[in-house]
Amino acid sequence: MDRSRLEFSDRRMPVVYLSHGAPPLADDPVWTRQLAEWSASMPKPSSVLIVSAHWEDDPLTMGATTTVPLYYDFWGFPQRYYEVQYPAPGAPRLAQQVARILSSPEHPVRQDPERGLDHGAYVPLMEMYPEADVPVLQISMPTLDPRRLFEIGRKLSELRDQGVLIVGSGFSTHNLREMNWHAGPDGDPPSWSVEFDDWLSRTLAAGDIDSLLDFQRAAPAAHIAHPRTEHFAPLFVALGAAVDTGADAENAVEGFWFGLSKRSVQFS
């Protein structure tokens, strides 16, 4: 028996793409409830493998496999947001699996033993698994190229049969410069955000992966909704991990927050 392999699960885990919110997500009772109810509806994972919009590093890098301090990758917030703790266990066996699956001479995989979870990882996970009792491994995005990220997801898909929840954490629309902060979290969203969100919902429902991968040309208002694509890019990893089972998307969270689409989906 290969003891480096993870235990097999009784069923294949889903894959999720979620809009993770800023640190004040924890103050939003609607969003936090949605995330908690969502996680409760899924089997509890043996571990979580998460790709966040807030970590780009080439070659692909795995974060700490032991519990280390969180990475507070934001500024300008009240002090209490820098005192948040989420001591989830590391996932060293999962890291071995990821290295085995993804490492090649052309695309090596390295490890950063000091790199803690960033807010794209711990903010949603605190609401989904508040006991911090699920091991978590975060990996970087080595590129923003949709097709390469899609292929990374395809390679990782075998982990689903081992109880691993693969999470792409971004934001379905993300343009901070065009937001109207004065409108409040429940204010009317701008037209560009509504148009892109509607396109995303319809395209996911149709399973049109080619259009999703080519979203910068296929989607309305794409360059306004994502002037830089790092918050949409984790979706491609999730799509790749789900494509062999059809990539059927079910909306888990809908609506807008300060005008940004918080659409989050589950692939069965």
- Pick the residue with more confidence: 181 or 47? 47
* Mean residue pLDDT across the chain: 92
- Plot region of 76 (φ>0 → left; ψ -120 to 50 → alpha; else → beta): left
- Please tell me the distance from the alpha carbon of residue 209 to that of residue 147, in angstroms, as a whole number: 10
DSSP 258: T
CATH of domain 15-267: 3.40.830.10
Among 22-36, 139-153, 228-242, 249-263, which is the least confidently predicted range? 22-36
pLDDT tens profile 62-109: 999 999 999 998 878 889 999 999 999 999 999 999 999 999 999 999
pLDDT computed for residue 245 by the predictor: 78
Considering just the CA atoms, what is the radius of gyration of the chain in Å?
Answer: 17
pLDDT tens profile 35-67: 999 999 999 999 999 999 999 999 999 999 999
Using the Cα atoms of residue 29, residue 33, residue 34 and residue 36 in order, give the sign of their dihedral. Answer: positive
- Please tell me the distance from the alpha carbon of residue 45 to that of residue 48, in angstroms, as a whole number: 7
List of residues 6+ apart from 49 with CB closer than 8 A: 91, 94, 98, 137, 139, 156, 159, 164, 165, 166, 167
DSSP string for 147-160 = HHHHHHHHHHGGGG
State the pTM of this model. 0.93
- Please tell me the distance from the alpha carbon of residue 228 to that of residue 232, in angstroms, as a whole number: 9
pLDDT computed for residue 148 by the predictor: 98
Q: Is 8 helix (H, G, I), strand (E, B) or coil?
A: coil
Please say if the pLDDT value at position 172 is more than 90. Answer: yes
pLDDT computed for residue 123 by the predictor: 95
Q: pLDDT over 70 for what percent of the chain?
A: 96
Taking alpha carbons only, the member of 79, 256, 119, 254 closest to residue 184 is 256
Average pLDDT over residues 196-209: 96
pLDDT computed for residue 77 by the predictor: 87
Q: How far is CA 95 from the centre of its chain?
A: 17
DSSP 26: G
Domain ranges of the chain: 15-267
- Please tell me the distance from the alpha carbon of residue 37 to that of residue 189, in angstroms, as a whole number: 25
CB atoms within 10 A of CB 28: 18
User: Residues in the chain, how many?
Assistant: 268
